[in-house]
Structure formats: structure tokens, C-alpha cells
């Protein structure tokens, strides 16, 4: 048997995994109907991690009821019920579901196309409308590796004007050990939740007065500014020039760019002097206007504009999620104007910059090529050329990619960089978007080597994605214990006795004079308590000073993960700290 065939019926095969979880959703629905016959069934698909079923129940599902459903699911798995597929004519299918008292299924059948095949799957006494596919038996499912994880409200068909249903989520694996590992990962993710850590560490906060708009606290501003300083250093090294463009610009600009027609629902608008304006949801039109302020020659290209631009997007309240989905964020944009024959080399160059940044944060990544969406501008020929150019550039440097059909930006295809954090979760951050359309819409030009005017190509790219989202990601990735160079407080000085207060202040002044970020804890508390609290604040280094240290001019050094590092001179500690910060070491 080939390796491919061996993986076909394991969780390594995404299709098998989806089929396994889909069957689990039917097992859950069967268990619910056995225990609570009055419940009406809506839909129950597999999802990226597990499955769910939407249910119309006269009473909320309690934790005790969830446990009962889990137990019944295990029984159904032990019964090894065969899954049998059948088809019915539309009228018979509607009558069948009406007789079973399942109005949501009747609506689904009525909404199917006239030529649709209407299929059902039966397992024991339970039968459900479903296109499949499914496993051949409930016995294929490991009963003791099933866990129902949550129950939330959900609108029927996502419409807030329709019935409110209850959505039960579940997860299942072929082995109990895999379920245990998954649940531990989920618990660890809860411990690392950036919203929880952001509050505990004094980084950022959210208020009801400004939903979706983050407040940066003093330590959070240090983190943000340190990240921005690194970003500027990297972009200067890679020959970008930094610009800043207006927050509010006229409607006519956004009509020319195409955003007014394709993105208006996500834009905040206002009226100034009886004219429509929009608060920018992205930075690209501003960069175009900067380019258009003076004539350009082929000798200047590629021309790389970088911008830490604040943008606003009208996200639905239900989509907001800490720093991961906000309504106002700083996008680390760059827009590059170049000639067509420079595309491959420039994409290679951008990919190398991305690799440098992600490596620093210990974030491995995969690349996805997104192609032409249904809602797009430009000819199919332009799209084909642009898509091929991105694919060629990535393969030329030995990188691989997967294709994401139809998910490109409306103006061009893109390469998305999906980073992987320390818990194995993936996040789409970096993107390289090739745009043949906007430069033409704005009549941009450069004088070519032939003395003629040509329209440049434009590359839109971000490496962090947004500063806010990236801060949320790395907060969870590092569990709040940022590398020393990035940590808001790098050294916490703890006094054993008040007699050491003046020496502690001298040590702090010496370190601060060399650019290090320092806090001093002079409280009249036991040193053990001070150390425990400093550990919770996740500061990299603690310097414990008492009478002996004050007399000898030394410091007792502790590290948040390595523990006691012993007593050393302030000069020796400073040299070590400088090396860690200057090299941006992972510690």
C-alpha cells in the first residue's frame, strides 16, 4: 500500500478528518433526539476543528445535559450502526420531514435547486437530510475520544431577524490521547489569552465607550513603540522610505480606487464642507497620491513607500475579538511602484524580508497563493499574468505554496504568509498583493528607458499585518514573557531592606542611562512576595539588592525562567543585558 493510501483513512488526510467530524455531528443529533425528542434539528456541519449542530430546544442546554448527550453519543458509537444513504423526490422529502416535525429541514429542501439530488443518511432509528459523505459505521468513531466543548446562541441561517437556536460544538479524535492533548492545548490557549494577559500585564484594554477601539496602556505603548522601531530599522535596511498620508480623504479618491464600490460597507464616512469624505480603511490610495506628486524615471524604480498608517474599518460588533479584530489599527503597509520586469526580483526580496522578521520572533510560516475572486476589476489576462508572476517568484527561491482559489483582493492576486505560533495555531499576517489595476485607474506614469511613458505595477505588502493583531499574536505566542529586547520592563530591582533603597535607585539610574527599561520596587514587603509578583509580571530580569549588595556594589540576579543566576558586579550584568538586547536574542 502506498503512503498516500495509508494516510487516506487517518486524520492526516483532511477529507477523512472532515468526514469523521461530519459523522460525529450526526451522532450528536441522534443522541439529542433520543434524549430530548421535542428538539428540532437545523444544520450540523464539520468545521476547521470539530463539528457543531444548530438545534431549536424549548430549554437551554445545561452542562449536565451536555454530559448526558456525550454519554449517549458513546453508546451510539458502541452500537456500530451502519450509515445508509438514500434519495427521495422533492415532494416525498418535504412530506417526510413535515411528518417528522422538522420545519428547518423542510425549509432547506424547499430552497434547494430544482435539479438538486435530495439525499438522506440513516443510522439506526435516526435519519437526517444530508449530502454526505459519512463514515460507513458509527463504530468507526472512538466514543471515549469525543468531547462537547461549548453551547452558544446562533441565528437560523445567520439572520438576526430569524429564530435564535442553540449551537453545540464538539471535537473528536481517533485516539483518547489525541483528545487529551487537544484539550490541554485549549486550556493552555486560555491561559495565554491575550485579552487576559493584556489586562494583567498592563498592556492594553477595551472599554464599552469605544467598542473595538483599543486603549494602549503605558507598558503597551512601550511594546508598540519598540516593535515600530524594529520595523523602521528593518525597512531602512531594505531600502524603503517612510511616509505618512491623511486619515480622511474625499469620496472621489475612493471612487477612483474602487473602494467606494467594493468596500463601502466597511468604511466610516463623513461630510466636510458639503462633500463626502471617508476615513481611510487602508493606506494604498495615499501612497498613490504621494507617487503622483512628481514625475518619475525608470532609474528610480522600484520605489518603496513604507507607512505605519492608522486605518479604520467598520467591523460588525459580533466579529470583534480583542486585538485580533478591532475597528482601528495601525497597518505596517508598504506600497512599491515598479516595472513589470522587476516583479520577480522584488517579490523575492519581500519574501526574504518576511523571513528575517518571522525568524526573529520564532514564527515558522507557510505560503498561500490566492487567485481571482468573483468580485474583481481588470481582465482575466492581467490576472493570469499577475498570478503566474507571484508563483514564479516564490518557487524560484525554493519556497512552496498552496493555492486558495478565488480569495485574492479585488484588484489582484496575493501571496499570504501564515505564521505558526508556539501552540501550533496558524495566523495570516504577511501578504504580498500584486496590482495591475490601481496604477492605471490613477493614470500613474514613469519614463522608461525608451523615453516613453509607461504605467507602473504596484505591490501592496504588509509583514506584521497590523500592529494590534501582531501584538495579540505574540502576546499569546510568548505567553506574555516577551524576549528581553521587546519586554516593556527589562529589569525589576527588588530591595530586601529599606536601607538598600538609595543603592537600588543608583543601580536603576545606571541602567536607565544606558537605555534599559527599569522599574524599582521599594515597598516594605518581604522579598519572597516581591519576587513572586515580579514573576507574574513576566519581567525578564530581577535584581535583588540588600545590605551586602549595597556594600559590595554588586547585584543578585534572577531570571524569570532560569531562576537564580548568582551575584555579579553591575558592570558584568550590564554587559550581559546589552548583548541580549543588541542582538535581539530570544531569551
> Which residues are known catalytic residues?
284, 313, 331, 333, 335, 414, 460
What grid cell was written down for 512?
536607565
CB of 578 closer than 8 Å to CB of 514: yes
Q: Is the dihedral of CA 182, 184, 185, 186 positive or negative?
A: positive
Which 3-state string (H, E, C) describes 186-247? HHHHHHCCHHHHHHHCCCEECCCCCCCCCEECHHHHHHHHHHHHHHHHHHHHCCCEECCCCC
As a whole number of angstroms, the distance between CA 111 and CA 115 comes to: 11
11, 198, 302 from 363: Cα distances, Å? 24, 21, 28
What grid cell was written down for 22?
461530519
DSSP 78-98: HHTPBEEEEE--HHHHHHHHH
Q: What percent of the residues of the chain are helix, what percent strand, and what percent coil, each to the nearest 5?
A: 40, 25, 35
Of the candidates 171, 186, 119, 168, the one whose C-alpha atom is nearest the C-alpha of residue 141 is 171
117: which residues sit within 8 A by CB, 6+ positions away?
87, 131
As a whole number of angstroms, the distance between CA 485 and CA 472 comes to: 18
As a whole number of angstroms, the distance between CA 152 and CA 167 comes to: 5
The residues pairing with 462 across neighbouring beta strands, listed in sequence order, are: 333, 431
The residues pairing with 154 across neighbouring beta strands, listed in sequence order, are: 165
Amino acid at each position: 500500500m502506498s503512503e498516500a493510501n495509508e494516510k487516506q483513512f487517518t486524520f492526516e488526510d483532511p477529507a477523512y478528518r472532515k468526514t469523521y467530524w461530519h459523522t460525529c455531528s450526526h451522532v450528536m443529533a441522534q443522541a439529542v433526539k433520543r434524549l430530548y425528542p421535542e428538539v428540532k434539528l437545523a444544520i450540523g456541519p464539520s468545521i476547521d476543528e470539530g463539528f457543531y449542530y444548530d438545534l431549536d430546544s424549548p430549554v437551554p442546554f445545561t452542562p449536565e445535559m451536555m454530559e448526558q448527550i456525550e454519554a449517549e453519543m458513546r453508546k451510539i458509537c458502541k452500537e456500530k450502526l451502519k450509515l445508509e444513504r438514500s434519495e427521495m423526490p422533492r415532494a416525498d422529502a418535504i412530506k417526510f420531514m413535515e411528518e417528522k416535525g422538522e420545519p428547518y429541514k423542510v425549509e432547506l429542501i424547499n430552497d434547494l435547486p430544482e435539479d438538486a439530488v435530495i439525499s438522506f443518511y440513516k443510522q439506526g432509528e435516526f435519519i437526517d437530510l444530508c449530502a454526505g459523505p459519512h463514515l460507513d459505521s458509527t463504530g468507526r468513531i472512538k466514543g471515549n475520544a469525543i468531547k462537547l466543548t461549548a453551547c452558544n446562541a446562533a441565528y437560523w441561517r445567520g439572520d438576526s431577524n430569524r429564530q435564535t437556536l442553540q449551537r453545540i460544538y464538539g471535537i473528536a479524535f481517533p485516539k483518547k490521547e489525541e483528545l487529551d492533548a487537544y484539550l490541554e492545548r485549549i486550556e493552555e490557549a486560555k491561559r495565554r489569552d491575550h485579552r487576559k494577559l493584556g489586562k494583567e500585564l498592563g498592556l492594553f484594554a477595551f472599554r464599552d465607550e469605544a467598542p473595538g477601539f483599543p486603549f494602549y496602556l503605558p507598558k503597551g505603548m512601550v511594546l508598540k513603540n519598540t516593535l515600530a522601531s524594529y520595523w523602521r530599522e528593518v525597512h531602512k535596511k531594505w531600502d524603503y522610505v517612510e511616509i505618512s498620508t491623511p486619515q480622511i480623504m474625499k469620496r472621489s479618491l475612493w471612487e477612483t480606487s474602487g473602494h467606494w464600490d467594493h468596500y463601502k460597507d466597511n468604511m466610516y464616512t463623513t461630510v466636510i464642507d458639503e462633500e463626502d469624505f471617508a476615513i481611510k480603511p487602508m493606506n494604498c490610495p495615499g501612497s498613490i497620491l504621494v507617487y503622483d506628486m512628481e514625475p518619475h524615471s525608470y532609474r528610480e524604480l522600484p520605489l518603496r513607500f513604507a507607512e505605519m498608517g492608522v486605518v479604520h474599518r467598520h467591523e460588525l460588533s459580533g466579529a470583534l475579538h480583542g486585538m485580533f479584530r478591532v475597528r482601528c489599527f495601525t497597518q505596517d503597509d508598504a506600497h512599491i511602484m515598479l516595472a513589470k520586469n522587476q516583479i520577480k526580483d522584488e517579490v523575492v526580496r519581500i519574501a526574504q524580508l518576511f523571513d528575517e522578521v518571522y525568524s526573529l520572533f520564532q514564527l515558522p510560516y507557510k505560503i498561500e497563493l490566492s487567485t481571482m475572486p468573483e468580485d474583481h476589476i481588470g481582465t482575466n489576462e492581467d490576472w493570469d499574468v499577475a498570478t503566474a508572476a507571484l508563483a514564479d517568484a516564490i518557487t524560484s527561491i525554493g519556497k512552496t505554496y498552496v493555492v486558495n482559489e478565488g480569495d485574492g483582493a479585488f484588484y489582484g492576486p496575493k501571496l499570504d504568509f501564515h505564521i505558526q505560533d508556539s501552540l501550533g495555531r496558524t495566523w495570516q499576517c504577511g501578504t504580498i498583493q500584486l496590482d495591475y489595476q490601481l496604477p492605471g485607474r490613477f493614470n500613474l506614469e514613469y519614463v522608461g528607458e525608451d523615453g516613453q511613458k509607461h504605467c507602473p505595477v504596484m505591490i501592496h505588502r504588509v509583514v506584521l499585518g497590523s500592529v494590534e493583531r501582531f501584538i495579540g499574536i505574540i502576546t499569546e505566542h510568548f505567553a506574555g514573557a516577551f524576549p528581553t529586547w521587546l519586554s516593556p520592563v527589562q529589569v525589576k530591582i527588588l530591595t530586601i531592606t529599606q536601607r538598600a533603597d538609595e543603592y537600588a535607585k543608583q543601580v536603576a539610574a545606571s541602567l536607565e542611562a544606558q537605555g534599559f527599561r527599569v522599574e524599582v520596587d521599594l515597598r516594605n514587603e518581604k522579598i519572597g512576595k516581591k519576587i513572586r509578583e515580579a514573576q507574574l509580571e513576566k519581567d525578564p530580569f530581577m535584581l535583588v539588592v540588600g545590605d551586602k549588595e549595597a556594600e559590595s556594589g554588586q547585584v543578585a540576579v534572577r531570571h524569570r525562567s532560569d531562576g537564580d543566576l548568582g551575584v555579579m558586579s553591575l558592570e558584568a550584568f550590564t554587559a550581559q543585558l546589552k548583548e541580549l538586547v543588541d542582538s535581539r536574542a530570544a531569551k
